[in-house]
């Protein structure tokens, strides 16, 4: 922690002995007994799992952030000889920064790159003053961009710091534009260099992370289902094994499975089975009593449908195959029951505003079959309008009622086996994924007889061609799904709200020794947290005071000291603000460790404020000495607190319940005390 | 271009505060234009023309206003049935007339005004406003529609005057006025009983008075200065009083005021006392005055709605005691909870209801097969519970026992009065919420097991205190598992009669879901006290109603499998809203912006950003601009900048909102966007004309450009006007339709 504390001083003093000493201390405090505990701690359970996936090169999807962070960890694990066969599913049950950085979680890596970005920008800014376009100028500029993209690549939170650096760079660039001693060409070169380093390089690097990620994980894995059929088909194994080599163009007579593109609440396929809708629902409404059509989240022989030409009777593909095109009229015949997909003006079971969709049974009553559907290919190219398996996204528009086949998202009750409800949406308003379908498995039907056809439906599809998605298509889909993925479980024992972070009203228990009461907590050094917040408040008040006085033409500070004060504030206070305030707008589950990046910036501000008070506000020598004494006293109290909380940071000592109670300084801290 | 205009612009520096005030500014602007006219005519009547100019200026304003009123009031009575959200806001107007209490997520001013308009125009509040499409028949609805249309009509003159003041150019103002007059969206939205015309009226009034007062800055503390400043405050209160969207215009005025004060503060010729006076004036007019007015609207709201109505259940027990007709009104009940009392227990979170149980079991497979415990919003015998000691089953109401009060920290048992089962929890998973425990009714005639014991705690009070009816916020902690009784707010399926789930949560988080209060209280052994002493004070009511509104707003979450409007759809006019009618036989009204206007606006924003940054960079590089160009760029950067800020503030916050969004949320932003278009094209055309000054017809470019834009807009209105005034006959894909060929985007459905 002290390493962070003194870094701004180091920035100005360049390399000196204290840097080495501080780094040593920082490393020591973090690496000390790093191998302890030998059990899985908290979120390591997730990240560890992901790393195993890398080792086995299996595709996975995580909503917490882009892949770079995982890869860094994987690389570490790889170098450390970790073979990916350890099962990461047991949880063995400032101090906060030490705790966080000792364990294998992403925050410490993120903080490292955040600080690296700010540091290298400062270095670059110093170079700008005396030697623009020098080698070190280029080095630090590029490093800023690289660090930014690494930070974003680890967790999306890194975006906040990136935005901050961009903002500061933009302000400096604006000053540069105003500098009339420079020629237009020179200004243009400056701007170009910044644009390349701070915009182009991060974007390229970010894409590169994904490129490597997708190259590394080319096998199918547990998260396949979330992705589109096309994406899944591009992975080795899984769906690709089935779809590889199936015919591309859907023709009349094709046998297909239809997957809903939206895939919420679960990915599923259009399905039907022998059972009919109950004559009367529980609420007294009636149904058509025809065969149920549902959406089913598992592979099943009842998911097969045959695309039939309404003008002909045959259910096989003619030779040569006649492809189905955008705007064609089709009938969809359920493979196992040979009944065709139908909708009519009967209210759907759970969504009474929409039409019921059924497989038509002729009861010989005045309810004719309405089984004609017009095919609309949503993503048809300008050159071709043929229905392609996997690639084409299609809608089925009912010819008689112009209702659209839709997944309503509701689960049917027991009579529908809790499968998902399918409806005909009459008022379809614009594009929505729940009305769009794509062919997943596909083959040309050849059997004339129903018995043979059933056998054919049960057999796996044949093999002949492969198709691959371009990198950009895969990237954009993956990116989109990552951003759109929401975890629904919004409650956790240790979740907390942003307001609790500043006052350290919360903690996270990471690990408890299986037998003794040794435990590891994410818990801050309260002296540091309070003084960090205090420094921020002092900084804000002093800045406001100076600003108002300057406006009235009273200059308390010399110009260069003022500029330094502003820059330090913009980076540190700004860094705190951009890493903290956005959490108030987020609706996901938040934990204390989300605050750590903001905290590091706050701590950076501390020495700035201290230095400033001693340099500019202490008038006499006496005041200065008193102030230094206070700083020393504060410092030692921080050390003392750090030492007292040490057992909770390292988890190396088993404390008695009494001692633990004594450590519970705030009622809201959740320290685990074993009952004996 | 006549030198008068450019020179005038350069001279005035166009800092808003250096401009001229009120009618003077008007005359000045008029003079510029008249000077143009004069330059064309050979004669120069030097003196007499001034009055003529003023008359022309007023005539133009009158024309704009008249056109706006004419378009808005044309066919106002069509269709004579409820359209879209009229079903809500008309109904709420009726509630005011009938004085029954209701709940809505918006502040009350807009609905109060609608109610007032209805009342004054002879509407008696008897129409039910049940669903869109219901015919009004003999009920008088034109008063309410007329009132909304009246306010909606003022948008155009307001925008006209604002742009005129910002750009000092009649042609820019005219262009803006035309865009808004001929926009089918603004027109449709102004013609029905909705909150939006009222909201937009106040937003534009605030913007106009802010601009006006900025241009009075050279004469601070004069009468017009005070007038416009306080008018800004009044309009802000109005905007916020209609919808919370009014916060955005408050933000804009706030930013403007801070910049203004910052400028004054840096002016060393002003003493600190003067600056202090400025500050005080603004605090008075822009903070104190609006807050007072806003509070006053709520005071009127609570005063008018004095009868019990459909909104009662959303509010706390103490609140309900105010409403006549509610069973808590004028009631008197024992104040402190004692053993043997029969009580109802209400969850403190809005719209959760009372702790409830009934003779139905949890179905097979869902926890233990014991009696269901739910929460229920309506008053019912099954909400009654008896509070008993945990260890004895003797009847505490036996007159031989002394009264024993329940105290904070006591261990109690809650027995359901109708079924005699105890409130019970155990280590079974709750029906809907994972990781929570199931809560059931258990035991026979009050005899159960130790899982029926709960510790009753008062939030933030000391142990041993008595528990007050209505006022005490209490928690029930299950003794064995240590979990807290709460309601998740999730609706149970059919088997639970669609009541809300009750769980016992192991997470000891302070949320309202797990805090309850005692509402009804029956204990014959205790003296009753009147509830009037418990009635909340006005600030408490105000705070509570705001909490309820905010929670109501955030509770409007979009459903996953439904098509929802996204903020990026709006500026491109991606999809409209059906106000009335679906089939080809219906009278159809479709809320959709005039695509020509909207796409022009979109293009203008891009053009503005481009030209604005070119000019800004050129100025930062210290380029020497000719006086005229400098003047025009000032208009573009300052006037345009203010309007652009307005657009940004009224548009981008929607991207951060989690609630359900609709197309009509964009309309305040669209007003700003149209003003930007007016300023931008006028300035660009003038710059163009200046650039080609050597060319003989240069000046004509400006006139021709503005004229063609005006005519183009008018023609597009001619094409699209059926959207607003109503269409009958086949849908647009049919060649027979009146709208055939006009469905330019597939996503429009009319």
B432, B441 Cβ separation under 8 angstroms: no
B736 CB within 8 Å of a chain A CB: no
Q: Which residues contact A641 (CB under 8 A, 6 or more apart)?
A: A525, A526, A527, A528
Identify the band that residue B34 occupies on the pLDDT scale cut at 50, 70 and 90: very low
Copy the structure tokens of residue B85: 């959200």
- β-strand pairing of B437-442 with B371-376: antiparallel
Q: Taking chain A, what is the end-to-end CA distance rounded to the nearest angstrom?
A: 36
The strand pairing partners of B355, in sequence order, are: B375
Cα separation, B617 vs B637, in Å, equals 12
B599-621 pLDDT tens trace: 999 999 999 999 999 999 998 88
CA angle, residues A130, A136, A139, in degrees to nearest 5: 135
What is the per-residue DSSP string for B530-551? EGGGGPPPHHHHHHHHHHHHHH
Chain A interface disruption, residue of B132, B486, B563, B614, most A CBs within 10 A: B563
Question: What does DSSP assign to residue A283?
Answer: T
Q: The tokens 């605090």 sit on which residue?
A: B283
Which three-class secondary structure state does DSSP give residue B632? Answer: helix
Cα separation, B273 vs B739, in Å, equals 65
Total-model pTM: 0.79
Identify the band that residue B284 occupies on the pLDDT scale cut at 50, 70 and 90: very high
A148, A194 Cβ separation under 8 angstroms: no
Mean pLDDT value across residues B365-375? 87
The predicted structure's pLDDT at residue A34: 44
B68-106 pLDDT tens trace: 999 999 988 888 888 888 889 999 999 999 998 888 889
Cα separation, B195 vs B24, in Å, equals 35
* CB proximity under 8 Å: A 436-455 to B: none
A326 CB within 8 Å of a chain B CB: no
Question: Quick one: how many helices (H) and strands (E) in chain B?
Answer: 21, 16
Chain B interface disruption, residue of A491, A508, A550, most B CBs within 10 A: A491
Q: How many residues does chain A have?
A: 676
Q: Which chain B residue is nearest to residue A187, measuring alpha carbons?
A: B621
Q: Which residues contact A318 (CB under 8 A, 6 or more apart)?
A: A251, A252, A253
Are A177 and B622 in contact (CB < 8 Å)? no
* Closest listed residue to residue B232, CA positions, set B243, B215, B244, B219: B215
Q: The tokens 């007579």 sit on which residue?
A: A253
- β-strand pairing of A404-411 with A508-512: unpaired
B551-594 pLDDT tens trace: 777 767 766 666 778 899 899 998 888 888 777 777 888 899 99
Copy the structure tokens of residue B654: 């929607």
Question: What does DSSP assign to residue A628?
Answer: H
How many Cα atoms sit within 13 Å of A321 on the Cβ side? Answer: 23
What is the per-residue DSSP string for A473-513? HHHHHHHHHHHH--------TT---HHHHHTT---EEEEE-
The predicted structure's pLDDT at residue A135: 87
Are A548 and B265 in contact (CB < 8 Å)? yes
Cα separation, B555 vs B539, in Å, equals 24
CA angle, residues A604, A606, A607, in degrees to nearest 5: 85
Torsion of CA B292, B298, B302, B304, to 10 degrees: 90
A206, A153 Cβ separation under 8 angstroms: yes
The predicted structure's pLDDT at residue B275: 92
The strand pairing partners of B578, in sequence order, are: B590
* Closest listed residue to residue B318, CA positions, set B547, B471, B461: B471
Residues of A in contact with B750 (CB under 8 A): none
Helices (H), B216-366: 223-242, 246-266, 272-282, 289-304, 317-320
Q: Residue B49 phi/psi, 5° resolution?
A: -70, -20
Q: Residue A446 phi/psi, 5° resolution?
A: -125, -15
Question: Burial of A31 by CB count in 10 Å (0-12 exposed, 13-18 middle, 19+ buried)?
Answer: exposed
Question: Burial of B524 by CB count in 10 Å (0-12 exposed, 13-18 middle, 19+ buried)?
Answer: exposed
The predicted structure's pLDDT at residue B499: 84
Q: Which residues contact A252 (CB under 8 A, 6 or more apart)?
A: A307, A308, A309, A312, A317, A318, A321, A322, A324, A330
The predicted structure's pLDDT at residue A62: 46
Mean pLDDT value across residues B151-172? 93
Q: What is the ipTM of this complex?
A: 0.75
Query: In this structure, how many other beta carbons lie within 10 angstroms of the beta carbon of residue A526?
Result: 18
Identify the band that residue B650 occupies on the pLDDT scale cut at 50, 70 and 90: very high
Helix B196-215 to helix B667-691 angle, to the nearest 10 degrees? 40
Residues of B in contact with A406 (CB under 8 A): 561
* Closest listed residue to residue B256, CA positions, set B203, B211, B208, B204: B211
What is the per-residue DSSP string for B40-86? HSS---TTTHHHHHHHHHHHHHHHHHHHHHHHHHTTTT-S-B--TTH
B397-417 pLDDT tens trace: 677 777 888 888 889 999 998
Per the omega criterion (within 30 degrees of 0), is the bond before B445 cis?
no
* CB proximity under 8 Å: A 526-555 to B: 548, 551-553
How many Cα atoms sit within 13 Å of A347 on the Cβ side? Answer: 12
Burial call B632-644: b when 16+ CB within 10 Å, e when fewer: bbbbbbbbbbbbb
Range with the lowest mean pLDDT among A101-110, B107-116, B379-388, B564-573?
A: A101-110
Cα separation, A637 vs A494, in Å, equals 28
Q: Which chain A residue is nearest to residue B269, measuring alpha carbons?
A: A552
CATH class entry, domain A239-460: mainly beta
pLDDT at B229 over 90: yes
| Domains with residue ranges and CATH for chain B | 57-298+576-723 (no CATH), 331-529 (2.80.10.50)
Are B562 and A432 in contact (CB < 8 Å)? yes
Copy the structure tokens of residue B575: 């999809």
The predicted structure's pLDDT at residue B9: 37
Range with the lowest mean pLDDT among A69-83, B167-181, B213-227?
A: A69-83
The chain-wide mean pLDDT, for chain B, equals 84
High-pLDDT (> 90) share of chain B, %:
40
Residues of A in contact with B559 (CB under 8 A): 409
Residues of B in contact with A397 (CB under 8 A): none
Cα separation, B526 vs B522, in Å, equals 9
Are A427 and B582 in contact (CB < 8 Å)? yes
Which residues of chain A form CATH 2.80.10.50? 239-460
Backbone torsion region of residue B737, taken as left when φ is above 0, otherwise alpha when ψ lies between -120 and 50, otherwise beta: beta
* Closest listed residue to residue A317, CA positions, set A256, A257, A371: A256
A413 CB within 8 Å of a chain B CB: yes
Which three-class secondary structure state does DSSP give residue B291? Answer: helix
What is the per-residue DSSP string for A110-147? HHHHHHHHHHHHHHHHHHHHH-TTSHHHHHHHHHHHHH
Are A551 and B658 in contact (CB < 8 Å)? no
Are B574 and A413 in contact (CB < 8 Å)? no
List chain A residues with pLDDT less than 70.
1-106, 218-226, 236-245, 427-430, 451, 455-469, 484-494, 509-515, 517, 649-653, 667-668, 670-676
pLDDT at B384 over 80: yes
The predicted structure's pLDDT at residue B31: 41
Q: The tokens 């306010």 sit on which residue?
A: B151
- CA distance to partner chain B, nearest, from residue A548 (Å): 8
Are B575 and A429 in contact (CB < 8 Å)? yes
The predicted structure's pLDDT at residue A625: 85
Residues of A in contact with B622 (CB under 8 A): 178, 180
B236-260 pLDDT tens trace: 999 999 999 999 999 999 999 999 9
The predicted structure's pLDDT at residue B44: 46
- Which H/E stretch holds residue B133? none
Query: In this structure, how many other beta carbons lie within 10 angstroms of the beta carbon of residue B70?
Result: 11
Q: The tokens 């939170």 sit on which residue?
A: A157
Cα separation, A152 vs A155, in Å, equals 5
Mean pLDDT value across residues B194-207? 95
* Closest listed residue to residue A3, CA positions, set A96, A94, A113, A105: A94
B653/B695: higher pLDDT: B653
Copy the structure tokens of residue A393: 């996204």
């Amino acid at each position: 922690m002290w390493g962070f504390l003194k870094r701004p001083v180091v920035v100005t003093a360049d390399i000196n002995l204290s840097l080495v000493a501080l780094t040593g201390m920082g490393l020591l405090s973090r690496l000390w007994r790093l191998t302890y505990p030998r059990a899985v701690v908290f979120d390591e359970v997730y990240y560890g799992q992901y790393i195993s996936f890398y080792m086995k090169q299996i595709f996975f999807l995580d909503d917490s952030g882009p892949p770079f962070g995982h890869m860094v960890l994987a690389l570490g694990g790889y170098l450390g000889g970790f073979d990916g066969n350890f099962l990461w599913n047991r949880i063995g049950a400032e101090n906060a920064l030490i705790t966080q950085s000792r364990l294998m979680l992403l925050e410490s890596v993120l903080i490292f790159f955040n600080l690296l970005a700010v540091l290298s920008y400062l270095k670059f800014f110093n170079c700008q003053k005396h030697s623009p376009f020098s080698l070190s100028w280029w080095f630090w500029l590029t490093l800023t961009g690289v660090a930014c993209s690494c930070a974003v690549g680890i967790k999306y939170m890194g975006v906040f710091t990136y935005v901050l650096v961009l903002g500061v760079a933009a302000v400096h660039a604006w000053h540069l534009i105003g500098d009339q001693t420079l020629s237009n060409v020179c200004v243009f070169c400056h701007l170009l260099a910044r644009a390349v380093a701070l915009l182009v390089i991060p974007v390229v690097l970010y894409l590169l992370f994904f490129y490597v990620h997708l190259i590394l994980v080319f096998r199918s894995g547990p998260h396949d289902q979330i992705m589109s059929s096309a994406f899944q088909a591009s992975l080795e194994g899984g769906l690709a094994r089935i779809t590889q080599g199936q015919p591309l163009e859907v023709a009349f007579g094709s046998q297909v499975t239809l997957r809903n593109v939206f895939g919420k609440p679960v990915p599923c396929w259009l399905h039907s089975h022998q059972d009919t809708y109950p004559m009367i629902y529980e609420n007294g409404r009636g149904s058509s009593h025809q065969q149920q059509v549902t959406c089913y989240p598992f592979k099943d022989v009842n998911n097969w449908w045959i695309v039939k030409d309404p003008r002909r009777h045959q259910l096989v593909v003619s030779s040569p195959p006649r492809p189905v095109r955008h705007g064609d009229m089709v009938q969809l015949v359920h493979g196992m029951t040979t009944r065709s997909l139908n909708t009519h003006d009967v209210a759907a079971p759970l969504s009474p505003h929409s039409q019921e969709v059924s497989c038509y049974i002729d009861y010989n009553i005045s309810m004719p079959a309405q089984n004609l559907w017009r095919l609309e290919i949503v993503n048809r190219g300008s050159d071709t309008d043929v229905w392609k398996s996997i690639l084409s996204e299609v809608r089925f528009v009912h010819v008689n009622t112009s209702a659209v086949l839709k997944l309503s998202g509701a689960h049917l009750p027991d009579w529908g086996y809790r499968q998902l409800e399918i409806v005909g949406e009459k008022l379809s308003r614009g594009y929505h994924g729940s009305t769009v379908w794509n062919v997943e498995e596909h083959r040309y039907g050849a059997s004339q007889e129903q018995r043979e056809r059933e056998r054919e439906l049960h057999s796996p599809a044949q093999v002949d061609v492969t198709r691959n998605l371009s990198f950009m298509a895969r990237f954009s889909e993956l990116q989109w799904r990552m951003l759109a993925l929401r975890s629904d479980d919004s409650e956790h024992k240790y979740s907390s709200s942003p307001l609790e972070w500043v006052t350290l009203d919360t903690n996270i228990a990471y690990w408890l020794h299986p037998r003794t009461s040794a435990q590891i907590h994410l818990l801050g050094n309260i002296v540091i947290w309070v003084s960090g917040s205090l420094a921020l408040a002092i900084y804000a008040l002093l800045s406001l005071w100076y600003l108002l006085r300057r406006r009235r033409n009273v200059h308390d500070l010399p110009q260069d000291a003022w500029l330094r004060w502003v820059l330090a504030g913009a980076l540190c206070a700004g860094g705190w603000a951009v890493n903290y305030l956005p959490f108030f707008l987020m609706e996901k589950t938040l934990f204390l460790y989300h605050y750590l990046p903001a905290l590091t910036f706050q701590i950076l501000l501390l020495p700035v404020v201290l230095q400033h008070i001693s340099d500019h506000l202490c008038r006499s020598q006496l005041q200065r000495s008193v102030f230094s004494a206070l700083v020393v006293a504060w410092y030692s109290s921080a050390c003392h607190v750090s030492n007292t909380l040490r057992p909770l940071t390292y988890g190396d000592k088993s404390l008695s319940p009494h001692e633990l109670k004594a450590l519970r300084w705030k009622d809201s801290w959740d320290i685990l005390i074993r009952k004996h | 271009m006549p030198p008068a205009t450019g020179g005038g612009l350069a001279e005035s520096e166009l800092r808003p505060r250096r401009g001229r005030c009120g009618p003077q500014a008007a005359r000045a602007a008029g003079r510029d234009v008249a000077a143009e006219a004069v330059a064309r005519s050979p004669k120069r009547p030097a003196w007499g023309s001034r009055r003529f100019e003023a008359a022309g200026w007023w005539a133009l304003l009158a024309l704009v206003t008249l056109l706006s009123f004419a378009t808005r009031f044309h066919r106002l009575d069509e269709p004579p049935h409820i359209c879209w959200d009229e079903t809500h806001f008309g109904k709420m107007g009726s509630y005011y007339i009938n004085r029954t209490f209701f709940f809505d997520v918006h502040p009350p001013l807009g609905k109060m005004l609608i109610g007032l308009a209805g009342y004054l125009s002879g509407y008696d509040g008897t129409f039910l406003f049940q669903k869109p499409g219901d015919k009004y028949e003999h009920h008088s609805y034109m008063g309410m529609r007329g009132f909304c249309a009246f306010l909606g009509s003022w948008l155009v003159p307001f925008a006209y005057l604002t742009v005129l003041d910002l750009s000092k150019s009649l042609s820019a103002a005219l262009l803006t006025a035309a865009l808004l007059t001929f926009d089918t969206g603004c027109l449709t939205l102004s013609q029905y009983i909705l909150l939006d015309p009222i909201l937009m009226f106040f937003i534009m009034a605030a913007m106009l008075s802010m601009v006006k007062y900025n241009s009075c800055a050279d004469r601070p503390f004069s009468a017009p200065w005070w007038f416009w400043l306080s008018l800004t405050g009044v309009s802000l209160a109005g905007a916020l009083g209609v919808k919370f969207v009014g916060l955005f215009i408050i933000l804009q005025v706030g930013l403007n005021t801070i910049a203004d004060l910052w400028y004054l503060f840096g002016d060393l010729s002003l003493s600190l006392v003067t600056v202090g006076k400025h500050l005080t004036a603004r605090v008075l007019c822009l903070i104190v005055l609006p807050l007072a007015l806003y509070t006053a609207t709520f005071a009127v709201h609570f005063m008018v709605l004095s009868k019990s109505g459909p909104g009662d259940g959303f509010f706390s027990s103490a609140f309900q005691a105010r409403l006549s007709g509610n069973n808590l009104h004028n009631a008197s009940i024992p104040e402190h909870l004692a053993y043997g009392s029969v009580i109802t227990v209400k969850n403190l979170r809005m719209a959760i209801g009372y702790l409830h149980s009934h003779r139905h079991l949890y179905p097979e497979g869902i926890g233990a097969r014991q009696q269901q415990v739910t929460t229920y919003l309506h008053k019912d015998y099954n909400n009654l519970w008896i509070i008993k000691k945990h260890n004895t089953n003797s009847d505490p109401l036996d007159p031989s026992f002394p009264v024993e009060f329940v105290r904070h920290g006591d261990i109690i048992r809650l027995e359901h009065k109708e079924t005699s089962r105890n409130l019970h929890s155990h280590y079974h998973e709750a029906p809907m919420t994972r990781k929570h425990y199931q809560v059931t009714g258990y035991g026979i005639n009050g005899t159960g097991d130790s899982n029926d014991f709960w510790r009753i705690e008062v939030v933030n009070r000391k142990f041993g205190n008595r528990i007050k009816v209505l006022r005490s916020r209490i928690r029930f902690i299950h003794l064995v598992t240590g979990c807290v009784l709460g309601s998740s707010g999730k609706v149970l399926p059919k088997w639970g009669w669609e009541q809300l789930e009750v769980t016992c949560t192991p997470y000891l988080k302070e949320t309202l879901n797990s805090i309850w209060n005692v509402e009804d209280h029956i204990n014959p052994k205790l003296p009753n006290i009147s509830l009037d002493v418990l009635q909340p004070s006005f600030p408490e009511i105000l705070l509570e109603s705001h909490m309820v509104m905010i929670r109501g707003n955030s509770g409007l979450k979009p459903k996953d499998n439904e098509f929802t409007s996204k903020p990026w759809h709006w500026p491109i006019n991606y999809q409209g809203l059906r106000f009335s009618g679906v089939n080809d036989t219906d009278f159809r009204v479709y809320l959709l912006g005039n695509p020509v206007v909207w796409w022009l606006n979109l293009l203008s924003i891009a053009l503005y950003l481009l030209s604005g940054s070119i000019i800004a960079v050129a100025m930062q590089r210290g380029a020497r601009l000719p006086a005229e160009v400098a003047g025009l760029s000032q208009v573009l950067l300052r006037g345009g900048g203010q309007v652009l800020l307005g657009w940004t503030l009224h548009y981008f916050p929607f991207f951060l909102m989690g609630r359900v969004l609709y197309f009509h949320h964009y309309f305040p932003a669209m007003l700003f966007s149209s003003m930007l278009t007016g300023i931008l094209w006028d300035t660009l055309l003038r710059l163009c004309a200046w650039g080609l000054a050597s060319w003989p017809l240069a000046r004509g470019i400006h006139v021709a450009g503005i004229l063609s834009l005006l005519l183009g807009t008018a023609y597009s209105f001619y094409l699209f006007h059926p959207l607003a005034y109503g269409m009958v006959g086949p849908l647009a894909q049919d060649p027979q339709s009146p709208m055939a060929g006009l469905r330019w985007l597939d996503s429009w459905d009319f």
